[in-house]
Structure 1
């Protein structure tokens, strides 16, 4: 087997963890990333660990119809980087990403093209591919982001996966801080042109009347908000459900003893709302308010993902937690748009 290292990066995992650490949410529109610096940092970290040459860096992400976006083209043009894309389904889920990564990992091992694989991921679905690569003679090292409060020492890594790799190393916190930058605005950006704002459905016409877009350089007027339904009391779990929790799959971290599940859900809901509001356009805000109380799939998934980071996927499945997440999101958005 050739004495080389190959790097396999699950972009969805890395960007979610980095965004959560720097911005407080995995919502991609809430931060920008210096991909060149990030990949250079990963290369340096793995080189210091192994001291051997690199075969290439495989970058796995998803896009609509698995087509390259401008961002993916930018990453793919970096020396030694190969971008592999899965699809984004109609409900916002990634499809085919883990499969491609697992097949490539085993393929590189079978072809004896590298002796060490560095895996930047936390998904337990890759555990079987890791073991297959190991059976073929390859060492697999997990690369994570340090989390001293987690029993595994890294953020958002499934225990099922962590138990199967040969070792775990962490990226420097300084690298994550340097590569991720928060995008924050006091109010939504003006939509590029009036015709870019989606028309309001007839059944919402009486509830939502957007104001004209401001002229360049003039203060932006906020859209008139739809009438708000009478707020329901924040849902509360039974005392037996509001306990200190650990992720059953090792996906989330630890909740401090003084916190309850609903406290975390409210914090996450408010954080996602604030970050989304600070990165959206006026047209996106109008569209969101027009469909109230329904949340777009991508926002709903971020709420659940960010909450799972804190309390674990199992507890995030509780209906009380999900209701609290959405309640807190709308409540925070209301306060920002008043």
Structure 2
């Protein structure tokens, strides 16, 4: 009789490897607290660095506007050759004013925008460029002494500085309506634009659309501008015992000025001028008169025959070169 078999041993079912067990509530809370503490430390450090970094402002000066407005207000003329402008003193006054208005801000620099023939600095512009914290930016001058390209330079600088967060406030000294786009571009990047102007001798010397767009406005009056503008004296023959020059002398001076004019402006400007013969554009005629008076050391005001001789000499030289 065979022995009873023992039942086969049953293999235990395979179990999945044990993973990490649940984190106890206390450990999870402690880990989260460490992360929050670290994050708060980083935020506080960043805020401390931001607090130590002051706001920054820059001053943008349209020199053409300043010369015209200040000259008319103080000296009664927009013609630069009739008065001297203490640009260094005026720039320092603008900086001082900004220091008061933007008390918690530092100055980036002053941008001085002007025009020059072929964008070549005049001695006066060179002196301004050498001032500390001043950047001179030049547009061009056409044959009628009108600035070209200055507004686009202002827009480019304003927009670039605002886009890169280099400035928080911009003081704009100007009045041309073409500056509206520059203001809008800077404001689009979060900068505030403050329009500074010079008191108008009569009426208004800043475009209304520009006044509407800026964040604030400020006007400098006669008392502010007067120390920086000096009218140049002109010697008149009524108070001079020496007789006036002859017509031939004045005609020669006209030809001499024409030669310089042609070198500075080129034959393209001459081609634009010739169709108007025998008349000169107002700006060119004014420049001719002022330069002749400087060379002669005397005034030609009130001497129609001599002024006619001056224009004749100017035209004769230009026509001989065409």
Structure 1 vs Structure 2 CA RMSD = 3.3
Which moves more between the two structures, 118-127 or 82-91?
82-91
Corresponding residue for 2:228?
A: 179
Offset at residue 16 of structure 1 (A): 0.5
Report whether the alignment pairs 1:222 with 2:222: no
SS at match of 1:175: helix
Match for residue 12 of structure 2? none
CA distance in structure 2 between the partners assigned to 1:28 and 1:118 by the alignment: 24
In structure 1, what is the equivalent of residue 29 of structure 2? none
Greater relative contact order (CA < 8 Å, ≥ 6 in sequence): 1
Using the alignment, how far apart are the partners of 1:65 and 1:2 within structure 2?
39
Per the normalisation by structure 1, the TM-score is 0.58
CA contact (8 A) 2:63 2:113 kept: yes
Residues matched between the structures, number = 222
Mapped partners of 1:169, 1:285: distance in 2: 46
Task: Verify: 1:74 aligned to 2:127, yes or no.
Answer: yes
Q: 1:61 to 1:148 in 2, by over 3 A?
A: closer
Cα contact 2:155–2:185 (8 A) shared by 1 = no
Question: Which of 97, 114, 126 pairs up with 2:167?
Answer: 114
Which residue of the partner structure matches residue 334 of structure 1?
A: 304
1:85 aligns with 2:138: yes
Structure 2 residue 108 is matched with structure 1 residue 62: no
Residue ranges of structure 2 left out of the alignment (5+ in a row): 1-52, 259-275, 288-299, 308-322
In the alignment, the residues of structure 2 paired with residue 301 and residue 125 of structure 1 have an alpha-carbon distance, to the nearest angstrom, of: 26
**TM-score, normalised relative to structure 2:** 0.61
2:209 corresponds to which residue? 160
Is 1:283 aligned to residue 253 of structure 2? yes
Structure 1: runs of 5 or more not aligned: 189-217, 227-279, 303-329
CA contact (8 A) 2:65 2:175 kept: yes
CA contact (8 A) 1:58 1:81 kept: yes
- The structure where helix makes up a greater share of residues is 2
Q: Which residue of 2 aligns with 1:96?
A: 149
Q: Which residue of 2 aligns with 1:294?
A: 279
Specify which of 135, 139, 143 is matched with residue 188 of structure 2.
Answer: 135
Residue 146 (1) aligns with residue 131 (2): no
Instruction: Output aligned runs, 1:242-257, within 5 Å.
Output: none
Q: Structure 1 runs of 4+ off > 4 angstroms?
A: 147-150, 284-288, 299-302, 330-333
Aligned 8 A contact 1:2 1:114 in 2: no
Does the aligned pair in 1 maintain the 2:141–2:148 contact within 8 Å? yes
By how many angstroms is 1:137 displaced? 0.4
